[in-house]
């Protein structure tokens, strides 16, 4: 069996506003659009990924929050309705998702043997979190690829950003090892925004772009700094600055996905591609691709 590989990594933010603005048939609410800079960024990402062959999407979402270790969905098929508890006016989505349970279990087992606290989720009534659904839908609206759904262990809140990052670096290494052993070609997805300070009011309609902007200049500076580091291939510097980024930008990277994906990709020194940047209800969001398939072996 050929070695498995990570064909690409993506930073794929998940605000439900993006699906709402896209008006897919699975989502009940209807909009007049909005957040085009980001949605066009996703268009470019999809176009780029259309040239890459992959078997499975492996995604870590900060909206499946677990405090007792890292969890993996262990059901082959998940069908239900996802309603965002924070923006239910925007996101009520009927989903039908195939899970690659074999790969999920392989990552679970590898992480466990590496000393991490992990658990498989096999309750058939469980609802997939909306972060996973939004990122996957924006990446691949055909829903024709199975996914591996990984929870966000809240290590930062229990311990510190540094401990969170160490745990996620370990999980990233375990993910990489399990993928390599699986023989599968995987698209890795970190489902998170950058700076994460929201407005606490909503425009009417929510897609009124005349009111959309970053919440503060400091948040903008952090977003641009992180994007520049990604574009320059300075992954190690990102990891070095992650604790400050998490705390000062109230970043959603606190959920661990950003650190995890950099680790799984081997802390790449190759430049990432920025497909789009925009704010959503004040938070900073970037659509980023690391085209690992172009980098060759070592």
Partner 1 sequence: MSGEIVKSLVVPAHPHPVLCPEKNEGWQRIRDAYDEARRQIEETDADLIIVYSTLWPSIIGHQIQADPNPEWVMVDADFHDLGSIPYSLQIDTEFAHAWNAANKARGLESRTVAYHGFPIDVGSVVALELLNPGNRIPAVICSTNVYSNRAETTVLAKACMDVVKAQGKKAVAVSVMSLSNRMFTEPIEPHEDRIHSLKDDEWNRKILEFLSEGRLEDIGQLSRTIHDQIRVKKVVAFKPMWWLSAMNDNRNDLTGEVLAYEAIHGAGAAVVVLDPESNGTGDKEYDEDDVEFYGGDRNVLDVEEGDDHGVALHDPTTGDTSFNTDKAPKPVGAYPHARKEGNLLYLSGVGPRQPGDNSIPGGPIRDSDGNSLEYDIKAQTRAVIENVSRILEEAGSSLDKVIDVTSFLVDMDRDFAGYNEVWAETLGKVGPTRTTLAIRALPTPIAVELKVIARA
Q: Which is nearer to partner 1, 121 or 226 (CB)?
A: 121
- In contact, 195 and 223? CB cutoff 8 Å: yes
Among 39, 71, 137, 275, which residue sits at the site for partner 1 (rule: CB under 8 A)? 71
To the nearest whole angstrom, how small is the minimum distance from the Cβ of residue 283 to partner 1? 10
- In contact, 131 and 42? CB cutoff 8 Å: no
Pairing between β-strand 5-11 and β-strand 185-190 as defined by DSSP bridges: parallel
Residue 7 has φ and ψ, to the nearest 5°, of: -80, -25
Question: Please, what's the b/e burial string for 97-108 (b: 16 or more CB within 10 A of its CB; e: otherwise)?
Answer: bebbbebbbbbb
Is 112 an interacting residue with respect to partner 1 (CB under 8 A)? Answer: no
Q: Which is nearer to partner 1, 50 or 210 (CB)?
A: 210
Q: What is the SS3 assignment for 129?
A: coil
| CA–CA distance, 147 with 73 (Å, rounded to integer) | 9
Binding map of partner 1 across residues 215-254, x = CB under 8 A, - = no contact: x---------------------------------------
Q: Which residue has the tokens 């992959």?
A: 54
Is 195 an interacting residue with respect to partner 1 (CB under 8 A)? Answer: no
Structure tokens at 236: 């190690």
Is 31 an interacting residue with respect to partner 1 (CB under 8 A)? Answer: no
Among 40, 126, 143, 295, which residue sits at the site for partner 1 (rule: CB under 8 A)? 126
Positions that interact with partner 1 (CB under 8 A): 64-69, 71, 81-83, 85-89, 92, 117, 119, 121-123, 125-127, 151, 153-155, 157-158, 198-203, 211, 215, 281-282
């Amino acid at each position: 069996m050929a070695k498995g590989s990570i064909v690409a990594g993506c930073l794929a933010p998940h605000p439900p506003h993006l699906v709402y603005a896209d008006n897919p048939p699975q989502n009940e609410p209807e909009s007049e659009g909005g957040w085009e800079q980001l949605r066009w960024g996703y268009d470019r990402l999809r176009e780029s990924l259309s040239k890459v062959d992959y078997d499975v999407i492996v995604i870590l979402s900060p909206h499946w929050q677990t405090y007792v270790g890292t969890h993996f969905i262990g059901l082959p098929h998940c069908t239900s309705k996802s309603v965002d508890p924070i923006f239910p006016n925007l996101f009520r989505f009927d989903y039908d998702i195939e899970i690659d349970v074999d790969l999920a279990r392989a990552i679970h087992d590898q992480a466990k043997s590496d000393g991490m606290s992990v658990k498989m989720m096999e309750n058939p009534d469980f609802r997939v979190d909306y972060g996973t659904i939004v990122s996957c839908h924006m990446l691949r609206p055909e829903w024709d690829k199975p996914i591996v759904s990984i929870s966000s262990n809240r290590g930062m809140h229990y311990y510190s950003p540094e401990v969170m990052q160490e745990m996620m670096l370990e999980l990233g290494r375990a993910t990489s090892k399990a993928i390599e052993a699986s023989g599968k070609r995987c698209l890795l997805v970190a489902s998170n925004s950058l700076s994460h300070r929201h407005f606490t009011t909503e425009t009417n309609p929510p897609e009124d772009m005349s009111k959309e902007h970053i919440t503060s200049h400091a948040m903008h500076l952090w977003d641009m700094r992180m994007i520049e580091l990604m574009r320059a291939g300075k992954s190690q510097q990102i990891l070095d600055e992650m604790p400050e980024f998490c705390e000062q930008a109230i970043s959603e990277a606190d959920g661990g996905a950003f650190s995890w994906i950099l680790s799984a990709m081997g802390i790449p020194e190759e430049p990432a591609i920025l497909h789009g940047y925009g704010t959503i209800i004040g938070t900073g969001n970037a659509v980023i691709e690391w085209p690992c398939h172009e980098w060759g072996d070592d």
